[in-house]
Amino acid sequence: MVKKKTSGDQKRIKSLLERLSNAHGISGYEKEIREIVGKELKLYVDKVETDELGNLIATKKGGKPSIMIAAHMDEIGFMVKYIDKEGFVYFAKSGGWFDQTLLNQRVFIHTKRGDILGVVGSKPPHMMRAEEAKKVIEIDSMYIDIGAKDDKDARKIGVEIGDTITLDRKLESLPNKMVTGKALDNRAGLTIMIEAARILSKMKIKPEVYFVGTVQEEIGLKGARTAAYSLNPSVAVAVDTTIPGDHPGVEKKNSSLEIGKGPVITVSDAEGRGIVVTESTLNWMKDSAEKGKIPYQLSVMEGGTTDAAAINLIRQGIPSGGISIATRYIHSPVEVLSLDDLQHCAKLIVECVKSVGKYF
């Protein structure tokens, strides 16, 4: 097998993605991610600030029209909800998990005393009855084992009700310039946003650009709402991940998207309950891709939505679109994407910013 070489730009992009993916921050607890993103964006913008909800807003000053580039900082995770007498920790989901992906994973419980390693366990199959073993194990039957002797010991170790929990995973490389890791939804979007800011910092552009790391997307698109209301941009683009149909278990009629075939431009999502991108906004993004000779894919999705759906309905309505990365196994510990797609997506964002004055 011939191994494809990774360019210098992609090495930089991968390094940033690795730092973001390996960092931890569930919805409402995005501090670690915000610090990384803020430190990076300060190199490329005029001002960086954090609003009261926790959104990071980095501004590259300019005139009208203004454009908001949004990528959410939070990842799906858990919270401690109960510690039993034997010291086992029970947890609640924060965000959309598929229970089967959780069993026997290693996790970190983030406490005031530091990160505590634990493992997700359940009743062993050897102890199950035949009918019981055939059933899917649900989260209510799972717990986290931190090696505590009892509940007092667990609290002595540092675990408290409300502590946040994330997966113990590190970004790893796969052949053909692909990577796998946790929270690529949406650390990939943040990486793209920062790379676009880096490229734009070397250009003279007319519009004012807001690079926004939003909070609490996974539990209701919350940060995007408040940030968009405050900024009131002329147009907005949400950068996120989306589901391809290029692997077993997904039919092409349900998703024609493929990894490595370029950025995904949203036409509509969540059967239209999320966003239906206006014709003018869609043409702007498609024309920008074609002018920049950037490969792209179009998406009509029946499930899932992004920050664009929330931003679109703020004030009198803000024209909004979505640009995403095709990512396999979203909302699992082993998400997979292509570095080529990341690089092309950053270039598409740049082209959109350069041409925004012709459309809005």
Question: Which of 45, 165, 60, 39 is CA-nearest to residue 107?
Answer: 165
The DSSP symbol for 19 reads H
Question: Which of 164, 194, 193 is CA-nearest to residue 81?
Answer: 164
Q: Catalytic site residues?
A: 217
- Rounded to whole angstroms, the Cα distance separating 178 from 9 reads 15
Yes or no: say if 71 and 322 are a contact pair by the CB < 8 Å rule: no
At which residue do the structure tokens 């683009």 appear?
A: 237
Yes or no: say if 139 and 97 are a contact pair by the CB < 8 Å rule: yes
Listing DSSP states for 64-102 in one string gives EEEEEEEEE--B-EEEEEEE-TTSPEEEEEES---GGGT
- Rounded to whole angstroms, the Cα distance separating 343 from 195 reads 8
Question: Which of 270, 330, 335, 327 is CA-nearest to residue 97?
Answer: 330
Vertex 274 angle, CA 267 and 328, to 5° = 70
- Rounded to whole angstroms, the Cα distance separating 46 from 77 reads 33
